[in-house]
Amino acid sequence: MLYHYYMKINLKLLLAAFFMASFMPGALAQVTVVKLDGQKIYLDTTELNRNVSVGDSFKIITGQEKLTNPKTGKDLGLLYHYSPEGKIIEVQPMYAVGELPQKGDYTVGQEAVIEAPVQTITVQTPAAATVETPAAATPKKALVANRKIKTYPVIAREVISAVKADLNALLGQEFAVADTKGRLALYTEENNALHQVAEYKLSGGKQFLSLSAQDVMGTGKAQLFAAVYSSKDQRISTLIFDVTDNEFKQIDSMPYFAKELGCGNDKKIYVQKPFTSGAKAGDVRELTYKKGRFSSGKKVTSSRGNWLTGLNYFPVENDAENNFIYTTSNGHLRLRLDNGKYVDSPALFATAPNRVKYKQEIISFYPSVQAYDSNGRAVLAAVQNEAEFGILSESFGSYKSGKFHFLTYENGVLDVGETVDLNGFLYDTNCTDLGILAPQVVSGGQTVLTEIYR
């Protein structure tokens, strides 16, 4: 058992090294031509293990020949022949559109290669510090993000929430996803494809609200915490699953709403109990596991009636103490400072699709606000969804697209520093070891699992 444990760790490290290497600038990625339209070439990108961006270069493989040393007979590999170099002009979840400098005699089914531009990093020597008279703080203009993004193959489900964790005690990590039809599925990643290995279905009248994963029991693998709403008895609870031999086994349940907050080593599972008099949520408490039972611990902060999906509890102002961050009904992210006062972000975040009817009220579950540390500075990552026709339904609104905003708190201002435009919208998000897991719901009720690197 000890040997298996260390082998698993070593193999994970090797896989991690391979995973990072796949994102090296300038790496070639082979794809298939699926449509021709003059100089425009449509390329299937569903099997790539890295993100494709507008501006990447591509070339169609027009032929190949085997190279052999005539003296020794040694096989030297294949020599490829290519079309003139083109540029990627449009990127969609499952394909990219490239444009060649001139029309050529190409056919559907030919292979092509995509090459990301080589990135350079410029290091600047800091200028001497100057003392200036403080000016009134003004919001900064949002910058376009330059973050690495990995998209996984499309899942034919409308995913509400997804986690990536070591759930099955096997080599590597798995994905657990919950969809709008009350189904919970487990996927493994192999050869740039996702393979479903398990499924669990909720009974009638129940729907998932959020997923979280953390090793609370100390077993060496994560347990899965699924917040569930039952329309039959208008009850919110959390089902706790263990995954063994590719099977979901419910090991406990709690009359609380559970959600993971924080990222990496800072991640913890928190719970809150709905008020019995209405749709508001109770105080935030850390989940505990003692003597074989899961329960709520002491109160860590007041939720101010907000649900755990739309808030976070993380040291933003300084490392000494956690700050409370939550989404307000008028669209601001509100940060509670150490002195008890509040500071607001731009009004971008109140549009969320996940709504249920609870005790005669319609309640909103805002997309998660992720919080993590980046080089000694706290960063908040929050979702802005755009509604279709400006209409929201009682259960899961109608949305067309979304954005991921990355915010920091500096000089008394909570403002957006980077923005990632999405092709779909998000119900919920979670943290992975390396980034933010964002299950984008795209056209046709399908989902593209997307990892945006912190």
Q: Where are the alpha helices (DSSP H) in 135-257?
A: none
CA dihedral 76, 109, 87, 445 (to 10 degrees): -130
Beta bridge partners of 10: none
Is the model more confident about 20 or about 254?
254
pLDDT tens, position by position, 435-446: 999 999 987 789
Mean pLDDT of all residues in 142-150: 69
Task: Determine the pLDDT at residue 127.
Answer: 39
pLDDT tens, position by position, 258-272: 999 999 888 999 999
Q: What is the Cα 147 distance to its own chain's centre?
A: 13
Task: Please check whether residue 116 is in contact with residue 50, taking contact to mean a CB–CB distance below 8 angstroms.
Answer: yes
Which among 164, 212, 220 has a CA at the least distance from the CA of 188?
A: 164
The most confident of 133-147, 237-251, 276-290, by mean pLDDT = 237-251
Mean pLDDT of all residues in 143-164: 86
Looking at the predicted structure, is the pLDDT value of residue 182 above 70?
yes
Q: Where are the beta strands (DSSP E) in 135-244?
A: 143-144, 149-151, 159-165, 174-179, 183-190, 193-201, 206-214, 223-230, 235-243
Task: Please check whether residue 60 is in contact with residue 82, taking contact to mean a CB–CB distance below 8 angstroms.
Answer: yes
Q: Residue 336: phi, psi to the nearest 5?
A: -85, 120
Domain residue limits, the chain: 24-115, 143-453
Which of the four pLDDT bands, split at 50, 70 and 90, describes residue 69? confident
Range scoring the smallest mean pLDDT among 73-87, 329-343, 383-397: 383-397
Report how far residue 431's alpha carbon sits from residue 452's, in angstroms, rounded to the nearest whole number.
Answer: 10
Looking at the predicted structure, is the pLDDT value of residue 179 above 60?
yes
Task: Determine the pLDDT at residue 25.
Answer: 36
Task: Determine the pLDDT at residue 205.
Answer: 87
Mean pLDDT of all residues in 288-297: 92
Task: Determine the pLDDT at residue 277.
Answer: 53
Range scoring the smallest mean pLDDT among 144-148, 207-211, 319-323, 342-346: 144-148
Report how far residue 181's alpha carbon sits from residue 207's, in angstroms, rounded to the nearest whole number.
Answer: 7
Write the burial class of residue 213 (CB in 10 Å: 0-12 exposed, 13-18 middle, 19+ buried): buried
**Domain 24-115 is found in CATH 2.40.30.20:** yes
Mean pLDDT of all residues in 216-227: 94
Task: Please check whether residue 348 is in contact with residue 406, taking contact to mean a CB–CB distance below 8 angstroms.
Answer: no
Which of the four pLDDT bands, split at 50, 70 and 90, describes residue 360? low
Looking at the predicted structure, is the pLDDT value of residue 254 above 70?
yes
Report how far residue 237's alpha carbon sits from residue 255's, in angstroms, rounded to the nearest whole number.
Answer: 5
Looking at the predicted structure, is the pLDDT value of residue 286 above 50?
yes
Task: Determine the pLDDT at residue 142.
Answer: 43
Task: Determine the pLDDT at residue 217.
Answer: 94
Task: Determine the pLDDT at residue 265.
Answer: 84
Q: Which amino acid is at 258?
A: A
Report how far residue 228's alpha carbon sits from residue 205's, in angstroms, rounded to the nearest whole number.
Answer: 10
Report how far residue 406's alpha carbon sits from residue 414's, in angstroms, rounded to the nearest whole number.
Answer: 10
Mean pLDDT of all residues in 136-154: 64
The secondary structure of 50-118, three-state, reads CCCCCCCEEEEEEEEEEEECCCCCCEEEEEEEECCCEEEEEECCCEEEEECCCCCCCCCCCEEEEECCC
Looking at the predicted structure, is the pLDDT value of residue 35 above 80?
yes
Task: Determine the pLDDT at residue 3.
Answer: 39
Tokens of 333: 């992210």
Secondary structure (3-state) at 288 = strand
Task: Determine the pLDDT at residue 389.
Answer: 57
**Domain 143-453 is found in CATH 1.10.287:** no
Beta bridge partners of 159: 179
Report how far residue 88's alpha carbon sits from residue 342's, in angstroms, rounded to the nearest whole number.
Answer: 44
Is the model more confident about 414 or about 391?
414
The secondary structure element, H or E, covering residue 441 is strand 435-442
- Percentage of the chain beyond pLDDT 90 is 48
Mean pLDDT of all residues in 134-161: 70
Residue 126 contacts by C-beta under 8 Å, 6 or more apart in sequence? none
Report how far residue 370's alpha carbon sits from residue 438's, in angstroms, rounded to the nearest whole number.
Answer: 11
Is the model more confident about 40 or about 397?
40
Which of the four pLDDT bands, split at 50, 70 and 90, describes residue 409? very high
Mean pLDDT of all residues in 290-307: 91
Task: Determine the pLDDT at residue 79.
Answer: 82
